[in-house]
């Protein structure tokens, strides 16, 4: 698949669910290491991850999406995303259970997010794809973190993050 209508995504798992984010938002994927704690954040904010000398705010994606916390395993990863915000792109680490694949899908296969019948906020979902007998939820990370307290924490000013 290499047509102009293709969408490349990184798919990953949280529990039994499969999610995807566009490849263009993924800066890199890191092996899990516990972030350095920063006090005063929301429950899903884990702290800062050192990415080549830069402190990147890191969140537990399970908690941010309303799932129960899980202990890290050997498959746990931190995906460093460039989250599109109205005034800038924010580097943000998200802890996920496991990376599944980098895939390309024809955009015509993507269905609109349903308003009911799923356990996730539908405004967080950019679309739904049926793949190998299950649903892949394509996330809108700009909405998930766009007006969230995780991107407006007071330490950003001291860390040189504009906002």
Asked whether residue 147 carries a pLDDT value surpassing 60, the answer given is no
Residue 3 has pLDDT above 90, yes or no: no
- Residue 69, domain member (yes or no): yes
Angle formed at CA 50 by CA 36 and CA 83, multiple of 5 degrees = 100
Map residue 71 onto helix, strand or coil.
Answer: coil
pLDDT, tens digit (0-9, with 9 covering 90-100), for 43-89: 899 999 999 999 999 999 999 888 899 999 999 999 999 998 888 88
What confidence category does residue 154 fall into, taking pLDDT thresholds of 50, 70 and 90?
very low
Query: Is the residue at 130 inside a domain?
Result: yes
Provide the residue range defining the domain that includes 147.
Answer: 6-159
User: pTM above the 0.85 mark?
Assistant: no
Overall domain count for the chain: 1
Q: Is residue 35 a part of any domain in this protein?
A: yes
Distance between CA atoms of residues 106 and 20, nearest Å: 14
Contacts for 140 with CB less than 8 Å, ≥ 6 apart? 123, 124, 125, 126
For residue 34, give the CATH number of its domain: 2.40.50.180
Q: Quick check: is 1 in a domain?
A: no
Question: Which percentage of the chain shows pLDDT scores above 70?
Answer: 81
The better pLDDT of the pair 8, 153 is held by 8
Any domain includes 89: yes
How confident is residue 121, by pLDDT bands cut at 50, 70 and 90?
A: low
């Amino acid at each position: 698949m290499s047509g102009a209508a293709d969408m490349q995504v990184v798919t990953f798992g949280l529990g039994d669910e499969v999610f995807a984010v566009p490849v263009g938002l993924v800066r890199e994927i890191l092996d899990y290491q516990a972030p350095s704690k920063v006090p005063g954040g929301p429950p899903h904010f884990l702290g800062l991850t050192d990415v080549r000398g830069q402190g990147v705010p890191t969140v537990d994606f399970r908690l941010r999406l309303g799932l129960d916390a899980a202990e890290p395993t050997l498959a746990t990863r931190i995906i460093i995303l460039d989250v599109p915000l109205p005034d800038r792109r924010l580097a943000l680490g998200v802890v996920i259970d496991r990376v599944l694949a980098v895939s390309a899908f024809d955009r015509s296969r993507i269905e609109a997010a349903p308003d009911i019948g799923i356990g996730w906020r539908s405004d967080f979902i950019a679309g739904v794809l049926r793949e190998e007998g299950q649903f892949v939820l394509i996330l809108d990370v700009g909405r998930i973190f766009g007006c969230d307290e995780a991107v407006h924490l007071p330490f950003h000013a001291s860390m040189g993050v504009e906002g």
